[in-house]
Structure 1
Amino acid sequence: MIDAVIFDCDGVLVDSEVLAIRGEREALGALGLDYDPPTYVERFVGMHDRTFFAALRIDYRAVHGQDAPSDFEETVLAGRRKHKDGLEAVAGAHDALRAARERIGAVAVASSSRAEFLRSKLERTGLFELVAPHVYSADLVANGKPAPDIFLYAAERLGVAPARCVVLEDSVNGVRAARAAGMRAWGFLGGGHIFQGHEERLIAAGAEATLRDFRAAGRAISALEKSIR
């Protein structure tokens, strides 16, 4: 039985990943680090910034033979913010949250985004009031995805056993985190950053099913209920 649905934010509820990836890759390219989009999505999407920048610094040293410059992180973050004005909710996200609360029960958001950015994105897209107060950032835990910490924290706050939670995630790291938490995981493919082969990567990471969109709340919840059964 499933008593709670936990949504990732970026790339699931809010179509922010495609904007962030574009800006980050532009900034990294100028620093001599070039990644093709599918590789970038598989390696980095879903990571907390601590883990993300640690991995990038390793790549920088491997390419350039020296440490990254002191302004490395701020340069990449500036690239991420460059396209923020185009932020929108994923189609059908509002109805999906409402339906999940009505039909499934407890609902939360558990994200790798920093707390202030997470709330801002949800508020700007009209989603925050549909899930508050259960909005949890990886800033609250010791380890970001693919570690299970944020999902375990969300389950504890909801008062629901991990085995009774299902997670909707767009990233390989997020699916791995959900599975490590002992939760069911479904891959979400409705974000603008999804590339060919990503569905297979999510399944390989542990997703038991995938959802292509939220265009109709009835369709999304029907898919959830069928998977629950």
Structure 2
Amino acid sequence: MRLPELVIFDCDGTLVDSERIANEVFASLITEEGLPTSFAECVERYMGRSASSCVSDIESALGRPLRTELLTLRTARVDERLAVELTAVPGIREALDALAGAGTAVCVASSSTPPEIAFRLRRTGLTEYFGDAVFSATMVPNGKPAPDVFLHAAREMGFQPHSCAVVEDSTTGVLAGKAAGMRVVGLADLVAPDALRAAGADQVVLKASDIPGALGYQVSAR
């Protein structure tokens, strides 16, 4: 198996354990807006997608514009909880250390905004792994499942898409990675392994510490 030259990580749910909180908050706000939405429905419909595409779908389902500043409220409520509850995904530092030890370049490509990504990495102590190599869907015309943010990240980092691998925890992100022509490892947590495989993930892992092995790196047995 050829090793990737660049590994592109999604942020929420892949690097930081924020997706459960974010989806709880978003489901509640969408329901308050007048569109009853459960946690599971929120995960299925909106997880991994850009904010603008989520708003478009919600307004389409409602048949009217939003009555509230839904995204502003979501950011405020999520940030309030993340400031207290946010942690790094278990095993992700182990995975990042293994990639650093192998000399493999890494970056972040997320549907979140640059300030949101910066806060999450800073709060969990992961900033040191990425520095300025952080890219947001707000930097490109189309969010996931379009491949734009992954292609932008590869281009800015100086790598061809076929030499890159993507690590994602959502079907939307997996679809985007495959559309970019990249190898994709799915990290199964809120989304079932079979759903990630059906979206096109080349490998699926249940623990972040298993990411290097799935990418083809030799990992010492523990």
TM exceeding 0.5: yes
| Residue 220, structure 1, aligned to residue 211, structure 2 | yes
8 A contact 1:14–1:121 mirrored in 2: yes
1:24 aligns with one of 16, 22, 26 = 26
Which residue number in structure 2 is paired with residue 80 of structure 1?
78
SS at match of 2:184: strand
Matched with 1:181 is 180
Distance in 2 (alpha carbons) for counterparts of 1:75 and 1:19 = 14
Unaligned runs of 5+ in 1: none
* Per-residue Cα deviation, 1:44-78 (whole angstroms, up to 9, x for no partner): 111111111111111222xxxx4321534434444
The counterpart of 2:202, out of the listed 199, 204, 208, is 208
Q: Distance in 2 between matches of 1:16 and 1:72?
A: 18
Counterpart residue identity of residue 67, structure 2: P
Q: Distance in 2 between matches of 1:38 and 1:207?
A: 21
Partner Cα distance (1:76, 1:222) in 2: 36
Contact 1:122/1:128 (CA < 8 Å) preserved in 2?
Answer: yes
Deviations 1:17-54 (A, max 9, x none): 10111111112222222223333212211111111111
- Note the 1:4-15 alignment, pairs <5 A: 4-15=6-17
- Decide which moves more: 40-49 or 66-75: 66-75
SS in 1 for 2:143: coil
- Structure 2 counterpart of 1:71: 69
Conserved? CA contact 2:174–2:200, under 8 Å: yes
CA gap of 1:133–1:75, structure 2 versus 1, over 3 A, is closer
Deviation (angstroms), 1:102: 2.2
Aligned residues: 215
Q: How does 1:1-229 map to 2 (within 5 A)?
A: 1=2, 2-61=4-63, 66-84=64-82, 85-103=84-102, 105-190=104-189, 194=190, 198-214=192-208, 216=209, 219-225=210-216
Amino acid across the alignment from 1:221: P
Normalization by structure 2: what TM-score?
0.89
Alpha-carbon separation, structure 2, partners of 1:115 and 1:52:
18
Single out whichever of 13-22 and 46-55 deviates more from structure 2.
46-55
Task: Give the TM-score, by structure 1 length.
Answer: 0.87
Q: Distance in 1 between matches of 2:70 and 2:211?
A: 40
Q: Distance in 2 between matches of 1:88 and 1:223?
A: 23
Unaligned runs of 5+ in 2: none
RMSD between aligned residues: 1.9
Report percent identity of matched pairs.
36
Letter in 2 for 1:81: D
The CA distance in 2 between the partners of 1:180 and 1:76, in whole Å, is 29
- Structure 1 window deviating more from structure 2 (181-190 vs 75-84): it is 75-84
TM-aligned CA deviation for residue 200 of structure 1: 1.4
The residue type equivalent to 1:140 in the other structure is M
